[in-house]
Amino acid sequence: MPSDRKFSVFGEMEKYGHEQVIFNYDKATGLKSIIAIHDTTLGPALGGCRMWDYKTEEDAIMDALRLSRGMTYKCAVSNVMHGGGKTVIVGDPVKDKSDELFQSLGTYIETLKGRYYTGTDVGTVGMDFVSAAKQTKYLVGLPEEYGGSGNSAIITAYGVWKGMKSTAKEAFGSDSLKDLTIAVQGLGKVGYNLVRHLYEEGANLVVTDIFNENVTRVKEAFPGITTVEPEEIYGVKCDIFSPNALGAIINDETIPQFNCKAIIGAANNVLAEERHGDILHEKGILYAPDYVANAGGLIQVADELQGYNKDRAFKNASLIYDILQNIFKISKQQNIPTYKAANVLVEEKINKIGQLQSKFTGI
């Protein structure tokens, strides 16, 4: 945020089309949280709860606004009939968590009476929401032993793998990943499972992570994988670069280093700015929009609200392949970057569904 610009919550809401921002404070537990609801045209808002030690309140607000808008787009493009929402808790996830704090959050979620559902995100885990569930039923992604669908990293990686095959088909003419060189950044819960799919298909893998234990785990599980230092991954000569860790990694510094034909991964908000998507398009690097590629976890937790069916959730996640094919088609037909093509798809869907819902269907 430029220092000479006066920050306005309502100004940002108007700019991006947000419906509601709720500030929650509980003196007893120290809870400081913000719930942002972006758009509920398709249905109740859905989006995880992030806990982070934000430097400023403005940073926390902007994160909630940005992430909730992203969830609207992710739901719409994935054919999930929910809108976008997000919760952020201001605090250190290592030091400041308590059962009481998440119970307090649960009471505020409950006041929305189903207008918004939440679950895990960066800095939170399933057991945090076991605490919140003592005060509200409007939660998703609980551990299996507490009635939830369990670890969403598995289906997220599956969706990225399917999306990567679709991307390969567009970029190379075949959806086989065998013998392609794929550079994988980030070997956490999702990255590890993605590497497993790629390894089993016969891809040549070059991987990295900022945590040595993650690198060691992957090397032991998948012999023959090449590893590089974190700062070297951007310049690796490869067919596909796959970001599965940090956001904003496609930027002015990294784009000149890329030596790949396509980019697809599980990381959120990988374009530092939208103009970086324009630059990729101009350079002929095929970009699979992140909120499409990583939608598997969303598909899983949304399925819980119908009564979780694993086969159905994985079938829906496999459709990421077809969704990307459609986005690539729009991109070529209109000669626009793929991120804009994805937005076109989303905005048309929201507009059409909004018109359908305006019709009287009887009492």
As for how many domains the chain has, the answer is: 2
Residue 250 domain flag? yes
The stretch 319-342 carries a mean pLDDT of 98
pTM for the model stands at: 0.90
- Domain holding 322, by residue range, is 153-348
Of 130, 146, 162, the last residue of a domain is: 146
Mention every residue, 6+ apart, whose C-beta is less than 8 A from residue 35: 20, 21, 22, 24, 64, 85, 86, 87, 108, 109, 112, 116, 118
| 355 located within any domain | no
- Is it the case that residue 362 has pLDDT exceeding 90? no
User: Is residue 354 domain-resident?
Assistant: no
Catalytic site positions = 86
Please tell me the predicted confidence (pLDDT) of residue 244.
Answer: 97
Instruction: Determine the pLDDT at residue 52.
Output: 94
Average pLDDT, the chain: 95
**Rounded-to-integer distance, Cα 86 and Cα 64, Å:** 6
- CATH number assigned to the domain comprising residue 322: 3.40.50.720
Q: Which residue has the higher pLDDT, 90 or 360?
A: 90
CA pair distance 113, 344, nearest whole angstrom: 32
150: left (phi over 0), alpha (psi -120 to 50) or beta: left
**Quick check: is 34 in a domain?**
yes
Tell me how far CA of residue 266 lies from CA of 171, 279, 311, 346, in angstroms.
19, 21, 21, 19
Compute the distance between CA of residue 60 and CA of residue 55 in angstroms, rounded to an integer.
8
- Average pLDDT in the 251-258 region? 98
Question: Does residue 1 form part of some domain?
Answer: no
Q: What is the pLDDT of residue 247?
A: 84
Residue type, 340: K
180 with 328, same domain?
A: yes
Across 61-65, 119-123, 206-210, 239-243, least confident range: 119-123
* Collapsed DSSP state (helix, strand, coil) of residue 114: coil
pLDDT in tens, 273-311: 999 999 999 999 999 999 999 999 999 999 999 999 999
Q: Give me the residues paired with residue 205 across strands.
A: 182
| 173-to-177, 240, 289 alpha-carbon distances in Å | 11, 14, 19
206-249: pLDDT as tens digits? 999 999 999 999 999 999 999 999 999 999 999 999 999 988 99
- Write down which residue in 107, 130, 146 finishes a domain: 146
CA distances from 5 to 9, 11, 12 (A): 12, 11, 12
Q: Which of 116, 131, 146 is the last residue of a domain?
A: 146
pLDDT confidence of residue 1 = 42
